[in-house]
Amino acid sequence: MKTFSYNAQPSRVVFGSGTSRTVADEVLRLGRSRVLLLAGRDVAEPAAEITRALGDLLVARFDGAAMHTPTHVTEEALAAARAHDVDCVVSLGGGSTTGLSKALAVRAGYDQVIIPTTYAGSEVTPVLGETENGVKTTRSSADILPETVIYDVDLTVGLPPTITLTSAINAMAHAVEALYAPEANPVTDQLALEAIRGITQGLPKVMADPSDLDARGELLQAAWLSGSCLAAVGMGLHHKLCHALGGGFDLPHSPMHTVILPYAMAYNAPAAQDVMRRIAEVMRVPDAAAGVHDLVASLGGPTSLAELGFTVDDIPKAAALATARPYPNPQAVTVDGISALLADAVAGSRPGGGNAFPRAELDRMSRAVVASFADTEDPRLHTLMTDLVRRAHDFVTSNDLTTAEWEFAIDFLTRTGQICSDVRQEFILLSDTLGISTMVDILTNSRARKQTPSAVLGPFYVEGPPAVQTGADLAEGLPGVPMWVDVAVTDPDGTPLPEAIVDVWQSNEDGFYDVQLPDLDGPVLRGRFRTDTDGRLRFWTILPCEYPIPADGPVGQMLAAVGRHPFRAPHVHFMISAPGHRRLITQLFPSDGAYLTSDSVFGVKHNLIVDMPEHRGPTPDGRVVDGAWRRLDFTFRIAPDA
């Protein structure tokens, strides 16, 4: 159990389409009446709409917000605010405008209503980064956190593709670093993973069709979640390095974050393997860092610092800035390490090397195959086939399956089929050893109230076993420890079921079933009984022994390859049928048997482990037994038909 603390940030969020028209209501809700509007020339049209919506509440406007929030720009805006006796700031735009609003709030205590037009996510954080004399510093305070954020999906429709892409990846960076922050907790973990999923899925849709409001909404919501992560936990290498590059080299903010993110992830990967695994899972790629790089490259985004004007000659200064002050990070931050990271980022080389993972092409193929079943008339068949395709395709892609591996799998299945015969079913054995047989059994047979647990049928059942009378000896003189069996068959409430048909079969003391011994004359250790008027039957057999499942075929080779043993825990099979009741297929296991916790086909269930105590002397039916014998007493409860 992980100990953690979590502080929820108390911003009000208004999300939807056309929500920016409520800006005046939100200002009045805060009890404010004199608004400074921060809006650059790049948002002239929506700024005009906000101006109309604010009406008499608007007393001043400032359009000079700059990247990395220079302090001299803040002072200019603060002078304008004071000159107009402002009590509230409305910010319309991207991260630079939001940053200026925060800088004003922390200096003068203004309430803030933020209307973001990009996907940066900083609008829901109490974090402010400012630049002075070429050095960017960061601080956090409750006074910085905006009171209200209005997300209007409509305002993002006109966002240029390059800004759409880079601001979304900038938001993703918040979510990535939240997952390995020292303050990471279950709340931010879930927010972060959902944000990464939303950006990974929504960004390609938006880039393909910028007018897709649903995709825009998915992306904007993911950016909000990302920002919420940044608000709750501290950031590591990625953000510290970007602050150094932004403040020291005046690199464009979101493109810089976009380039650096995959390289920062690759740098931290050895010390944050579980985080990178979880990110890769939600992105549906084999490697998280390479997956982010491939996503950006596939959408035409920047992948190298060289594209932004940063050169190899700048690396020493940047590495010194990034390592000047210690900060929490999974991997130790060193000058040499950061220098190598920056060299890779300048070159734009794919983290880990190799070729890009073709996620989009794979998804198109999967959708096409699923669509091919559209005319399936049977609804259940349609569900099974389409779900099977999706899951099989996901297995192939998430494991980056190679041609050689797939050919080996085809050969394995071919050999599995070729070894099957009338007395051997290798496919059932494969299903058993993968736990599938038991899973299906649980789903099918474990929902009836008070019924004895079921178990797998196994590959050695034979239809039409010989009829055997109560009191007979199934072993017919075979070596082994004699065992007297006295069992009853009842309904769930304990009412005896006479004339129930009970098939019994088991292996000999060497672990072989009769069908595995071609020289054996007739069925042995198997038979069909009928319960008496009290619902009981009694017979002799031998104590079951552990045995290996057939290991001379493909299934045995699979078990050997993965270091698993082939042994089954000792057991006796029962198949019980009675009119008006569900058939029960099950097994009973001696409590002192071997392999109870590692049965090769996962067939052991706790309630099927029973004592088969040792006895000496007189037997229940007077049979003379030299030495020890065992006894099995059990009541099977079978459920009525549904």
CB within 8 A of 163, min separation 6: which ones? 94, 118, 254
The span from the CA of 527 to the CA of 510, in Å, is 19
Of residues 68, 197, 359, 568, which has the active-site annotation?
A: 568
CB 639 within 8 A of CB 449: yes
CB 223 within 8 A of CB 123: no
The span from the CA of 451 to the CA of 638, in Å, is 5
CB 552 within 8 A of CB 516: no
Structure token digits, residue 615: 């006895």
Of residues 573, 581, 630, 637, which has the active-site annotation?
A: 573
CB 126 within 8 A of CB 9: yes
Question: In terms of Cα–Cα distance, which of 533, 458, 545 is closest to 495?
Answer: 533
Residue 26 CA from chain centroid, whole number: 38
180 assigned to active site: no
What is the b/e burial string over 95-110, where b = at least 16 CB atoms within 10 angstroms of the residue's CB? bbbbbbbbbbbbeeeb
Of residues 571, 581, 630, 637, which has the active-site annotation?
A: 571
Structure token digits, residue 627: 């030495």
Question: In terms of Cα–Cα distance, which of 548, 566, 557 is closest to 411?
Answer: 557
CB 351 within 8 A of CB 287: yes
Q: For residue 377, which amino acid is it? A: E
CB 111 within 8 A of CB 105: yes
571 assigned to active site: yes
- Residues pairing with 630 in the sheet: 483, 614
Question: In terms of Cα–Cα distance, which of 585, 600, 416, 421 is closest to 515?
Answer: 421
Burial class (CB in 10 A: 0-12, 13-18, 19+), 230: buried
Of residues 547, 581, 630, 637, which has the active-site annotation?
A: 547
Structure token digits, residue 195: 């944000």
The 8-class DSSP code of residue 349 comes to P
User: Containing H/E element for 147?
Assistant: none
The 8-class DSSP code of residue 313 comes to G
Question: In terms of Cα–Cα distance, which of 147, 106, 93, 113 is closest to 36?
Answer: 113
- Tracing tokens 């239809």 back to the chain, one arrives at 463
Radius of gyration of the chain (CA): 35
Of residues 32, 513, 526, 637, which has the active-site annotation?
A: 513
Angle between helices 161-179 and 273-283 (to 10 degrees): 140
The span from the CA of 161 to the CA of 434, in Å, is 47
52: how many CB neighbours lie within 10 A of its CB?
11
498: how many CB neighbours lie within 10 A of its CB?
13
CB within 8 A of 102, min separation 6: which ones? 69, 112, 128, 144, 146
Q: How far apart are the first and last CA of the chain?
A: 43
182 φ, ψ (degrees, to nearest 5): -55, -30
Beta strand spans in 355-435 (E): none
Question: In terms of Cα–Cα distance, which of 504, 501, 502, 500 is closest to 526?
Answer: 504
The span from the CA of 143 to the CA of 128, in Å, is 10
61 assigned to active site: no
Residues that are catalytic: 513, 547, 568, 571, 573
